[in-house]
Structure 1
Amino acid sequence: MSFTWFVGTRYFKSRQKQAFISLITFLATAGIAVGVMALIVVIAVMTGFESELQNRILGIESHVLVMRYGESVADIAATVDKVESIDGVQSAAPFIYSQVMLRSSHGVTGAVLKALDPSRPGPPIFVAKTLSLSDALAGAAPDDAAGKAPGLILGQVTAEKLKVTVGDPIYLISPLGKGSAGNQMPTVMRFSVSGIFQTGMNEYDGAMSFIRLDVAQHLLQMPGQASGLEVRVADIYRAKQIADAIVGRLGFPFWARDWMQMNRNLFSMLRLQKTVMFIILTLIVLVAAFNIASALIMMVMEKTKDIAILKTMGATNRHIRRIFVFKGLVIGCLGTAVGGILGFILCAILKRYPFIKLPGDVYFLTTLPVSLRAVDVATIGLSTVVICFVATLYPAASASTLDPVDGLRYG
């Protein structure tokens, strides 16, 4: 056992003459524990929000969006083959995108119409618990002989607004009608509600509607054409590189945007909030670090005679500094460990028992999502220990510069 280790542990085991110093030490440890616990819980919740939002957005939108400047994609099959031949691309599917009006017997609302090819993999949206969007669109084909109208799939919020259920008739009004530019009439087409989906995000459940690609081509007068391609990739974090490769393969006038570019403002806001909360909650740790410094300064004043005796016995300034740095780091590490354990327990409770409810019309979730990452925990723990170490430097330096003669005389 080294000399500094031996003396440092003796200082922890020995009874201090002033109970006030012990109280400050306890408060410093408790403050660090509370700060670390709050940091872990808040960062875990904000990381959960970011992760859940990312998963839900990518469950509806494509990883990479490919379109042409000012015109639609005409040669769909050849374009899809070129895109799918690029390394890292899982699938590419044509789509048509348009803004329409939906009218039922109970009301009218605007909607974003998206037409997909049911024979190709689409977004992982479930219209029912076991029925995917692609399967629902496959069964939404019109049948003129039987008088069956084409199917339209609505979001839960839109269906509630129009007061329709599965099987009810609904009319789709498109501004892209027939006629000349000066005498153009909107196109009205009768559909049947073939499914209702719910993603948990009002931005999509209250705006998006889906139909078959062939029906949209007839409705919007785009025979054999598509607005663009939805591309899904194997690694979502390589989406930008794959988007650049797609543009390089297809050439002008094609352009591509990845999911991070399309949602840049939203994710930038979440990262900024996470950083700000980390800085604010670190102030709790800083207050506790000041308590560590206060406890060590008072301890130096109490142990003046002991320090002088140690120096007369051969202890160097470095030995004295290490003794007080050791004590401060033990307090900091103990508080960090206790706070980490409490943070883990609280996160586990929030994840298993979601007793905190959120308003679904304000947030896209009804409970707090919790996602604890090792890198976040390591950052919090390391930052706390560094702050505690810095807090010990001044008291340790003051103790090391103590004159042994003055210590023995006035100690």
Structure 2
Amino acid sequence: MFRPLSVFIGSRYTRAKRRNHYISFISLTSLIGLSLGVLAMILVLSVMNGFQREMSARILGMVPHATIDGVQPLDDWQALAQRLRTHPEVQAAAPLTQLEGMLSFKGSMQPIQVSGIEPQVEGDVSIVASRMVAGSLDDLRPGEFGVIIGMITARRFGLSVGDKLTLIVPEVSATPGGITPRMQRLNVVGVFKVGADLDGSLALIHRADAAQIRRWQPEQVQGVRVKLNDLYRAPQVAGQLLAQLGEGYRAEDWSHTQGSLFSAMKMEKTMIGVLLMLIVAVAAFNIIATLIMVVADKRADIAILRTLGATPRQIMAIFMVQGSLIGISGTLIGIVLGVLGALNVSELVGWLERVTGQRIFSSDVYFISTLPSELRWEDVAIVAVAALSLSFLATLYPAWRAAQTQPAEALRYE
């Protein structure tokens, strides 16, 4: 099989056992360093993807993808929900009335966001029904002022089903003060656990009770929340729904309320990726050192090749091939190990916990008690291209130095 001269000699230099074992050691170190860098990048990026997926499923499974509120309280939310469901990207719709206030229990207080919901349809737009650890959504009945609180709130106050607490909400009044607090006694009928900050900042009541607290008619609600096929298109879909409905409505989506959190997670992933790329860069610098020493060791061979008719371009290509083979081998080994690690990291952590008898991610401390991982092939492709590019660039200077070798100077003392 015909092979170009530069490929033949470059690959043979890579396979050959060199007289200088130190050069061989540096070459092996470069390959191992590159493999470890690629492995670390794929593994860490996959774990961060897993955390982002878990947080998205938990937080965005609870908060509205988008809400369409009326400028005035809505009298017929069923008709509005029916119109919203006609949009091809809307999966489901449910009524929503939101209140901001404080929860008070035995002298302790905490801020809370209270959502007035319709228990029969809330499961269509939220995951809360599957996250109940005590009680159920059906325990919210109009007129009874039942409340479902998060696990963090329940632990903070020491509450359980059947306890009573006080909700304090601001109310605009005609008094000189302008705003006066209004207190409402609530009965704890359920506890949910999502595994996020919402466990300590969200509570659920019946929409009719929320309307009564706001001094509205029992059937009136603030707006309708929708669940979308693609939650990342929420800003565009919310704008389309608003344009479809016309005046008298306003829209809001999750990017207004939770966007900063996911932007921070995305920036964190980018910065960690850049920092891990330094490992690959160090391995690339080792390739430079390896090739420079190989060039010094092979000066006589280079000179002989030049006298036999090899051009400087061919000499340069020989050492570029040698360095590139190190880069390709290290990258492929790192990709294989990284993919295997990303696909099995959860099982590996579980095995370590069983062997050591220690919980690495305790559910009492962390929201997520396992190490999630989501392998994305676009991340693997980016890491591979970056590693191969750095490896190729690392070959240019040593190969250029080899091409500048003068046969007479190199053979003078041979």
TM-score normalized with structure 2 length: 0.87
Match of 2:249 among 251, 254, 260: 254
Check whether the contact 2:102–2:168 (CA below 8 A) recurs between aligned residues.
yes
**CA displacement 1:300-356 (0-9 Å, x = unmatched):** 111112122223333233322221111101111222222223333443453114347
Which of 216, 238, 247 is residue 243 of structure 1 equivalent to?
A: 238
* Superposed displacement of residue 122, structure 1: 3.5
Aligned letter for 1:260?
S
Question: How far has the Cα of 1:245 moved from its partner?
Answer: 0.4
For residues 192 and 171 of structure 2, the distance between their equivalents in structure 1, rounded to whole angstroms, comes to 26
Higher mean C-alpha deviation, range 101-110 or range 156-165: 101-110
Q: TM-score, normalised by structure 1?
A: 0.88
| Counterpart code for 1:374 | W
Do the aligned partners of 1:104 and 1:164 also contact (CA within 8 Å) in 2?
A: no
Structure 2 residue aligned with 1:36: 38
Shift of 1:285: 1.4
User: 2:231 & 2:169 partners in 1: Cα distance?
Assistant: 34
* Uncovered stretches (5+) of structure 2, i.e. residues with no partner: 354-358
Report the counterpart of residue 80 of structure 1 in structure 2. 81
SS of the residue 1:368 aligns to: coil
Tell whether 2:298 aligns with 1:303.
yes
Which structure 1 segments of 5+ residues have no match?
144-148
How far does the alpha carbon of each residue in 1:135-156 deviate from its partner, in whole angstroms, 9 at most, with x for none?
x33332158xxxxx34211111
| Correspondence for 2:385 | 382
SS in 2 for 1:119: helix
- Write the distance in 2 (CA, Å) between the matches of 1:273 and 1:267: 10
**Equivalent AA in structure 1 for residue 60 of structure 2:** L
Q: Which residue is equivalent to 1:125? A: 128
Within 2, Cα distance between the matches of 1:185 and 1:46? 46
Q: For 2:48, what is the secondary structure of its paired residue?
A: helix
Change (3 A) 1:378 1:19: same
Q: Does 1:395 align with 2:398?
A: yes
Alignment RMSD, CA only? 2.7
Which residue of structure 1 aligns with residue 210 of structure 2? Answer: 216
1:146 aligned partner: none
Range that drifts further, 18-27 or 256-265: 256-265
Deviation at 1:204, TM superposition (A): 1.1
Please say which of residues 239-248 and 163-172 is displaced more in the overlay.
Answer: 163-172
Inter-partner Cα distance in structure 2 for 1:114 and 1:403: 81
**Partners of 2:399 and 2:387 in 1: CA distance:** 19
Matched positions, count: 400
Residue 107 to residue 406, structure 1, CA distance change in 2 (3 Å): closer
Structure 1 position 116, deviation (Å): 0.6
Deviations 1:191-220 (A, max 9, x none): 33221100111x211121111112221232
Q: Within 5 Å, which residues of 2 pair with 1:42-81?
A: 42-68=44-70, 71-81=72-82
The match for 1:93 is: 94
Q: 1:130 and 1:191, CA in 2 relative to 1: closer, same or farther beyond 3 A? A: closer
Distance in 2, matches of 1:256 and 1:90, equals 17
Is this contact kept in 2: 1:127–1:195, CA < 8 A?
Answer: no
Q: Is the alpha carbon distance of 1:335 and 1:406 closer, same or farther for their aligned partners in structure 2, counting shifts above 3 Å?
A: same
